[in-house]
Structure 1
Amino acid sequence: MEITILLENSKLKGSNLSIEHGISMYIEKNDYNLLFDTGGPEESAIKNAAQLGIDLSKIDAVVISHGHSDHTGGLMKFLEINNKALVYLKKEALTPHYSKRPEGMKYIGMDSEIAEKYSDRLNFIDETTEIVRGIFLVPQISKKFSVPSSNQVLFAKKDEKLIYDNFKHELFLIIENNKDLVIFSGCGHSGIKNIVNTAQNLFPNKKIEAVIGGFHLQAGSFDYALANGEEIEDIAKWLKSEVDGKIYTGHCTGERGMNLMKPVLKDKLEMIYTGIKITF
């Protein structure tokens, strides 16, 4: 299995790839090609795919982790390029979503035209589903542990009223690799501990080879919605004890989150950058 980071907030020095706030991963497993999230509305992930020689028209499926624009922003362009891939997501991902900023509420939901123009391509998931052999989507995340405190600035619209987002629109991806598990998280709004714990409960006899994705330890680049140091250290200690292999993170984990987790996780923790490849 090979994973190419099509988009992350940062890139390596000297890279000429595009970056923006968002995440997107291209996953090749045997002869199956999967896109996990599509990056932000500047369509950087789509541009980077072309630059890296990745033919998006040959993608077999897209998985949308949740309904925020930094994960769905490239989806409309992708659907124009690719005329066959199904898009797997939760129906709640279509709900309008907002972020509370100092200047007021900002819409951060999916482009509403996607559901209007491409309803036949959307495949809603409400229970654990094996889309092909060894690739599972998990839409029901058990909340044994607390969720990230940085969720406090995130809202959804229900009955024309804004309410705190409960993240029922979030799912995660599990891929079996040599009988072990690789877990993919978009932002981990439901809590990365809860995501990993849910995977453990689904596959109690499997080792976790890797966790890849965002942990939402901060809301964008804003310093008013940060997880506190104790919260981050607790997450790092728990992941160290529960994950057998490596932890690859970035995007909404943030540089501060990385710096606070590194003393606990040490070489077990690696930051992802736009354009890098991870091979198992």
Structure 2
Amino acid sequence: MTLTINVLLENRRAAGADKALTTKAGLSLLVQDGSDSVLFDTGPDGSFLHNADRMGISLDNLTATVLSHGHYDHSGGVPWLPENSRIICHPGVQDVRYAAVNLLGRVKKIKRLSPQVDYSRHAIELTRTPVHISERFIWSGEIEVPSPKAYGIIEDANSSPDYVTDEGVLIYKSDRGLIIITGCGHRGVINIVRHCQKITGIDKIYALIGGFHLRTASPLRLWQVQRFLKHIKPEKVMGCHCTGPWGLLWLPNTISPATGDKIILE
């Protein structure tokens, strides 16, 4: 079965793409096979809808919208979804979160990272556990991480560190192995792949697609990811959004999808 991925929004515009397409820091992908249509992330605003229209793509009759996590550049476009849209995500997607610095033992908020979204308008399915969206599509649920890294804070009574525990991925069970689609990859490429293998019982990875959060990664971490990819041997690696030029430099034979691209996986 063929899987088609239309890049509705990414940081860059694809070469030769319609110049009227909007580009913004964020990610939104329409993922379709012959039976189901899943919108993965919405970007920061309604740009994904504008671009879908320019690309001649209908977002009617979606099987589901999946939100990778609650950062504004991935879930900020939710208000532009139709009323009562089916949305699958982790409960933590609704947390109020900020980038922050610690100054002499005091936490200072810098920038809000979560959008102001009224999720009550939609048919939202909040879950920490995997969801079988269809026969082949799976929402990963919460991804286990032995030593999580904090990315800012969650606004609560204690200004808790934000480990982005709400981040999950979209999995497609193809006949050639798993296709794993990531939003930002805060939980780490290695942890993500191992989690997907564990919950599906499938070791073969056909493709890794999305943000890998490697734009400022240390050489040690990049070497570990590089070595891991050589070990699991995915047929295709497509790093975009927050993978960054630095991350792509370390990942050989990696394609970098951009706004307006259409990816077809047989």
TM-score by length of 1: 0.85
Q: 1:173 aligns with which of 170, 195, 210?
A: 170
Q: Which residue of 2 aligns with 1:248?
A: 238
Q: 1:46 aligns with which of 45, 49, 52?
A: 49
Q: 1:156 aligns with which of 146, 154, 157?
A: 154
Q: Which residue of 1 aligns with 2:8?
A: 6
Q: 1:270 aligns with which of 231, 251, 255?
A: 255
Q: Which residue of 2 aligns with 1:111?
A: 116
Q: 2:250 aligns with which of 260, 275, 278?
A: 260
Q: Which residue of 2 aligns with 1:211?
A: 208
Q: Which residue of 2 aligns with 1:202?
A: 199
The CA deviation at 1:18 is 0.7
Report which stretch shifted further, 7-16 or 168-177. 7-16
* 2-structure distance, mates of 1:101, 1:143: 23
Q: How many residues align?
A: 256
The CA deviation at 1:14 is 4.4
Identical aligned residues as a percent? 28
- Are 1:26 and 2:30 matched, yes or no? yes
* 2-structure distance, mates of 1:47, 1:170: 26
* 2-structure distance, mates of 1:153, 1:127: 22
* 2-structure distance, mates of 1:208, 1:70: 27
Paired residues of 1:189 and 1:215 also in contact (CA < 8 A): yes
The CA deviation at 1:152 is 4.8
* 2-structure distance, mates of 1:227, 1:272: 20
Deviations 1:136-188 (A, max 9, x none): 111131225x55xxx554222222x4222122211111111125210111111
Greater share of helix: 1
Q: Which residue of 2 aligns with 1:122?
A: 124
* 2-structure distance, mates of 1:104, 1:162: 10
TM-score by length of 2: 0.89
Go from structure 1 to structure 2 and tell me whether the alpha carbon gap of 1:168 and 1:227 turns closer, same or farther (over 3 Å shift).
same
Gaps of 5+ in 2: 103-107
Q: Please report the RMSD computed on the Cα atoms of aligned residues, expressed in angstroms.
A: 2.1
Gaps of 5+ in 1: 219-225
* 2-structure distance, mates of 1:244, 1:30: 23
* 1-structure distance, mates of 2:244, 2:11: 9
- Are 1:87 and 2:84 matched, yes or no? no
SS in structure 1 at match of 2:142: coil
Equivalent AA in structure 1 for residue 115 of structure 2: M
Go from structure 1 to structure 2 and tell me whether the alpha carbon gap of 1:229 and 1:28 turns closer, same or farther (over 3 Å shift).
same
Q: 1:62 aligns with which of 56, 65, 69?
A: 65
SS in structure 2 at match of 1:255: helix
The CA deviation at 1:108 is 1.3
The CA deviation at 1:232 is 1.4
Q: 1:73 aligns with which of 70, 73, 76?
A: 76
Paired residues of 1:60 and 1:85 also in contact (CA < 8 A): no
Q: 2:221 aligns with which of 218, 231, 242?
A: 231
Deviations 1:41-91 (A, max 9, x none): 3x222211111111123322100000000001211112xxx3453000111
